[in-house]
Structure 1
Amino acid sequence: MKTADPELMRAINRFHVLDTIRRAGAISRVEIGERTQLSATTISAITASLLDDELITPHHEGDIRAENGGNRGRPRVMLTLNASAARVVGARIATNGLVFVVTDFQGDILARLTLPVRVDGLPLPVFGDLVEDGVRRCVLDAGLGLADVTSVALAVPGIVEHGSGRVRSSALFRDPDVPLAGFIAERLGVAAIVESHANAAAMAQHWFGRARDCDDFVLVSVEDTLGLGVMHGGQLFRGARELSLDLGHMMMGVSTAQSQRLADIAGEKAILDGEHADLRLREAMRVGRGMSHVRRLLAEGDDGFAAAASRAGEALGIAIANLAGLFAPPRVILVGSSLALGRGLVEPLQASFERVLTGPLREVTQIVIDEAGDELWARGAAAVALSELYGSPWSTTGPALRDGPLL
């Protein structure tokens, strides 16, 4: 029988202990055991190592006394994260702007920065200049220098190969297969990570948002690209070679002649496609605010986009019902710019979802709509970086990250 890799098991157990402490704020070793189901010996060894590495700190809480009020007992030792143990930068990179956050070791924001500048189609060196400038400015705003930053994580649209740090395809770049993590790491001299928008959003929801109480859920980002994030057992699920998932390639239809990709029905471009007489809409589309402008038009009684929004919502509802049939998640969270269409998109989506979903799953899966701002996505990228630090062995020189573009 093949046994588990002991190093991998140690990393997994270490992650779960640190993540349990982060969620609790302050927690005893006994409570960690109750929540993680790890043995007292394992928890004692892990927490001793974490204390040696100054990643957690002990706090004494009250005194335990005998029930009859007799002799003084030992104070209960509570463990908390050492927030200053590491700082990371998370960034959401979209075609119409960049959002940066600097966080401490427990994910609290120390500084934030938004650069509303169009970045799609730029030569890679120019793109790198913008990212480097944003990282440096945000780190400076946090009262830090780059030497104080452990890693930088970028969330980008498209298909990302997380393990190698390569962007396989994205609207950001003219060429496929961009070695972005290595490029940014060389520019900054700091370990770099690249993640998909959907995975960063899923991590943000799990750490800070609508799934803090849920270790198993599905997230769909409804934007120009239709991204998919799957969280299982508190960990992101990635495909072969750690590829991110893409819902937009799901085929809709019952025959070859009738089939279309979901993105061709429900992607932002599909909804906004065509020539528009409204000059303000054209300008809004240029700066990435097309959906917000369409929502305003719909509220004013302009139903020119109502049919496209309804068609997109219906297709998304069917696709999400298929996801529910595959994964039976307790929660499906929808995020992204297309939610600005409001009821015109959401009501057809929910109607088709309920119509297609089989009986037993109606009692299991709940759809949650969250029109979260870009900062939450950037914070999710930071959480991706932190989750890797949580599982890494540390020493007096810092985290021992895996080989590749992170170094």
Structure 2
Amino acid sequence: MKTADPEFMRAINRYHVIDAIRRAGPIARVGITERTELSPATVSAITAALIEEGLVQVQRLPSNGDAARGRPRVLLDLNGAAYTVVGVKLSAHRIGVAVTDARGEPLAELVLPLRVSRQSPGVVADLVEDGVRRCVADAGLRMEQISGIGIGLPGVIDGNTGVSHWSPVLGLSPVPFAEAVAQRLGTAAILENDAGLVALAEHWFGHGRDLSDFAVVTVENSLGLGLIVDGRLHRGAHGVGPELGHVKVVAGGRPCRCGQHGCLDAYASDWGLLRLGEEAGLLLPGDDTPERIALLVERALGGDPAAAALFRQAGSLLGLAVANLINLLNPPRIILTGEGLRAGALLREPLLEAVAANVLPTLREASEILFHAWGDEMWARGAATIVLRRIYEAPWNNAA
């Protein structure tokens, strides 16, 4: 079996040590031993190799006793200078870029407001190139110093091959977008569904840092789901992760832009709410701009009963989908994020009511629901974690 391979096991142990240092650093070797349940000898051997590679740095502090007599305490932390990576977040209306160090700390960030969804994939790749080069220069770096680029966007994304099979940003046809960006910038690029990158970022920086299993639901122009299972991002067949936005909530219901009917996206995403608002006469037909969804939210919060009903329906159907997620997987925590939560209690209250009404009684207390606001820079920072994760898992991935 694969797990009986000594090299593979060493790679797994190495990653667990790095992960313990990342989460709890600066940390002593004894603390790593307690967190990983590896033997002190194994931890010492792995950390020595990581220090030699430059991934981990040593901090020597005075002992808790008499500093003159006691041996200094040795703490280990990730070396932020070991790598520099770039994260890119693509949405229908803008491109977010962040340059981070090996700890995921931002060195430079920028947001380009653009109608990305109106452009061809080739033009989008050109825009990403321009944004990355500008942000790298703002960080005082050269492209030769970048270890990789992580790109997140909504849709059916194959994270293994870097192909977008369907995306509201890149269109309905398969696009090898990671390869297109890599060729332009001369640096390895990784493509991932944007909900997956948020799940990774929550695992590294946010409300999932203390967990090995949790779910993230993103509510924006489209709806997404990122799952962390046993500390790793879950992907299904062909490297494609779960698609919450295309779960059917109304049999034979409203048409969705994916070509099917009754999808959650058609009722609860910004795109779906704009279509519903147009049909209700609340908005004139137009593009899916942030200004138009903001106007619909303003009308709803201002007391327009028809607009408010749309957001209550969106919250109720989204809550039903979250309840089914709990009934199926029972994750200890579900984190909801994204601009689509801007309607506040108008959407959040029916969402929580639907969860309470549809979750099995024995599971209600087991899954915690949190709301976590993310800005554009955090989405891009999340994309950078894809690259860092791949780097730190490299021996594991090579053995897999």
Q: What TM-score do you get using the length of structure 1 for normalisation?
A: 0.89
1:360 paired with 2:362, answer yes
Question: Comparing 10-19 with 74-83, which one deviates more in the overlay?
Answer: 10-19
Corresponding residue for residue 86 of structure 1: 83
The reply on whether 1:263 has 2:265 as its aligned counterpart is yes
**Does residue 130 in structure 1 map to residue 127 in structure 2?**
yes
Contact in 2 for aligned 1:119/1:172 (Cα 8 Å): yes
Q: CA deviation at 1:267?
A: 2.5
Shift of 1:223: 2.1
Cα distance, 1:145–1:401 mapped onto 2, change above 3 Å: farther
Shift in CA distance, 339/282, structure 1 to aligned 2, threshold 3 Å:
farther
The alpha carbon displacement at 1:83 in A equals 0.7
Pick one of 141, 146, 153 that aligns with 2:143: 146
Partner secondary structure for residue 35 of structure 1: helix
Which range moves more in the overlay, 33-42 or 55-64?
55-64
Comparing 306-315 and 103-112, the one that deviates more: 306-315
RMSD: 2.5
> How far apart are 1:42 and its partner, in Å?
2.2
The whole-number CA distance in structure 1 between the counterparts of 2:308 and 2:18 is: 48
Gap regions ≥5 residues in structure 2: 255-260
**CA offsets 1:375-406 (integer angstroms, 9 cap, x no match):** 1111111111111111224xxxxxx9869xxx
The question of 1:105 aligning with 2:105 is answered: no
Match of 1:196 among 193, 197, 207: 193
CA contact (8 A) 1:294 1:341 kept: no
Match of 2:374 in 1: 372
**Residues 295 and 342 of structure 1 are in contact (CA less than 8 Å); yes or no, is this contact kept in structure 2?**
no
CA distance 1:4–1:184, shift in 2 (3 Å): farther
Q: Percent of counterpart pairs with the same letter? A: 42
Deviations 1:239-265 (A, max 9, x none): 122212101222225x67898222222
Which shifted more, 161-170 or 10-19? 10-19
* Structure 1 portions without partners, runs of 5+: 394-399
Q: Matched residues in 1 for 2:197 and 2:34: separation?
A: 29
Q: How many residues end up aligned between the 2 structures?
A: 391
Q: How does 1:306-321 map to 2 (within 5 A)?
A: 306-321=308-323
Q: Kindly provide the amino acid, as one letter, of the partner of residue 217 in structure 1.
A: F
After superposition, what is the alpha-carbon deviation per residue over 1:74-117, rounded to whole angstroms, capped at 9, x for unaligned?
Answer: 32211111110000001111010001110000010000011001
Q: What whole-Å deviation, never above 9, does each CA across 1:336-373 have from its counterpart, x for those lacking one?
A: 22111222211111111101111121111121112221
Deviation of 1:17 (Å): 1.3
Answer whether contact 2:218 2:225 (CA < 8 A) is retained.
yes
- CA deviation vs aligned residue, 1:160-218 (integer Å, no higher than 9, x gap): 11111111110112342111111111110001011111011111222222222222211
Partner of residue 69 from structure 2, selected from 64, 69, 72? 72
Deviation at 1:5, TM superposition (A): 4.2
Q: In terms of mean alpha carbon deviation, does 321-330 or 106-115 score higher? A: 321-330
Partner of 1:28: 28
* Partners of 2:397 and 2:4 in 1: CA distance: 20
For the residues of structure 2 that align with 1:276 and 1:98, how far apart are their CA atoms? Answer: 31
Provide TM-score, normalisation by structure 2.
0.91
* SS, match of residue 99 in structure 2: strand
Residue 327 (structure 1) aligns with:
329
Letter in 1 for 2:365: E
The code of the aligned residue for 2:38 comes to L
Q: Which residue of 2 aligns with 1:396?
A: none
SS where residue 306 of structure 2 aligns?
coil
C-alpha separation in 1, matches of 2:373 and 2:63: 46
Q: Which moved more, 1:381-390 or 1:257-266?
A: 257-266
Contact persistence 2:282–2:307 (CA under 8 A)? no
In structure 1, the partner of 2:41 is 41
Give the equivalent residue in structure 2 for 1:341: 343
Q: Structure 1 pair 263/7, CA: closer, same or farther in 2 (3 Å)?
A: farther
> 1:190-339 counterparts in 2 under 5 A?
190-252=187-249, 260-273=262-275, 274-275=278-279, 286-339=288-341
